[in-house]
Structure formats: C-alpha cells, structure tokens
Amino acid sequence: MIWLFVFIIIDTQILKDIFTMKTKKLFLIIVPLIVIGSYFVIPPSGNSIITSGQTMSDSTKHAKGDNMNTKVVKTEEEWKKELTPEEYRVLREKGTERAFTGKYDHFFEKGVYKCAACGNVLFSSDSKYNSGCGWPSYWTPLAKDKIILREDRSFGMVRTEVLCARCGSHLGHVFDDGPEPTGQRYCINSVSLQFEKTEDTK
C-alpha cells in the first residue's frame, strides 16, 4: 500500500509538471511528435503506389501497348476474344495448320512478317525461301531477340519450338536442315503471321 501511495504521488507530480510547463517547451515536444507521426501515415508525394484494387491510367496502358519492346500479357479469355478460332488454336494452344494450306506457303512478296497476335515484327521476306515442306520457311529471324526457342517433347518427338518473344504465342519449329548461311529452317504457321508490304526491307 505504501508503494502504491508513493507511485500516485509521483504520478500526480508528473502530471502537474506537464500542465504547468511553459508553452514554449510544450510546443517543442508536441510538434516533432506530429511531424514524425505524419511521415508514417502519409506516404511521400514522390512515390506512386498502385494497390491490387487499382489500375494503371489509360495513358500508361496506351504507352505499354504501343512499345514493341514491352511484353504483352493477356488472359486466355482476352486472347479468345481477339483471335479467330484457328488463330487461337495455333497461337495459344500450340496447334499446327495442315501442310500446303497456309496463305504464305508460296507467297514471296517483299515485306515483313509480324506476329498475328501482337504485331511483333519477326521475319523478313529476304530470308524466306521455298523449302517444299508445306509451311512458310525462313533461314533466320529478323533479329534473335524477336523470338524465343524452347525444347518441345510433344508427340513423342524432340523438337525446338519457336515462340514470339513479345507475347509468347506459338509460331512453329526450327530445324537444322536449312540453307546457308545459318543452316536453319524456321518452319512457321501462316496463321501465326501477318504480312506487311514494304518498299525496302533489310
């Protein structure tokens, strides 16, 4: 009981000192506490925070979609809405069009071939040749970073699959039986491509 009485006296004395403290000293204590507390409650104005419930602005979306160096990521439902059933089967489900039926098999106009899903420029007519395999064939892509090569063990075979580096869509396969100078044959589905005519291709 004696210790409790002493604690009450001390505690009362502390409260008395606080309430009798000069205004200047009280101001010097309270203001820093407010400033420090507000730093943790209000994020700095220079940072931009996007939570899971927010989305990017329309201008940011537009810039991302137009930049060919950025990845295109969409849900399969979105791809189904944008692609035809045959395009979806080949590009997204890794299907193969029937040999000698593609529109670009015996097509040799000057231009470039883009990914039918995202518009990524993949091949040039300068590297296209008639391999006789039934699908458009190229001895090199326009640039190595335009495509992704991946081992494919489907159907009991070991092949090298060719994918669009921008959207990950299936294009075809590459084989080591092509002409010089690469010795490779990029065997690509016509439905995976979109031709664009140009006056001068390099």
**Marked catalytic residue, from 115, 118, 164, 187:** 187
Is residue 187 flagged as an active site residue? yes
139-173 tens-digit pLDDT: 999 999 999 999 999 999 999 999 999 999 999 99
Please check whether residues 122 and 67 belong to one and the same domain: yes
110-130 tens-digit pLDDT: 999 999 999 999 999 999 999
Cα–Cα distance between 23 and 113 in angstroms, integer?
Answer: 78
Give how many domains the chain has, as a whole number. Answer: 2
Please check whether residues 38 and 53 belong to one and the same domain: no
The parent domain of residue 18 ranges over 1-43
Give all strands of the β-sheet with 193-197 in edge-to-edge order: 121-124, 111-115, 193-197
Q: Provide the pLDDT for residue 70.
A: 87
Residue 202 lies in a domain: no
Please check whether residues 9 and 64 belong to one and the same domain: no
Q: What average pLDDT score do residues 74-92 get?
A: 97
Please check whether residues 26 and 56 belong to one and the same domain: no
Residue 148 lies in a domain: yes
Please check whether residues 32 and 118 belong to one and the same domain: no
Please check whether residues 33 and 65 belong to one and the same domain: no
Residue 142 lies in a domain: yes
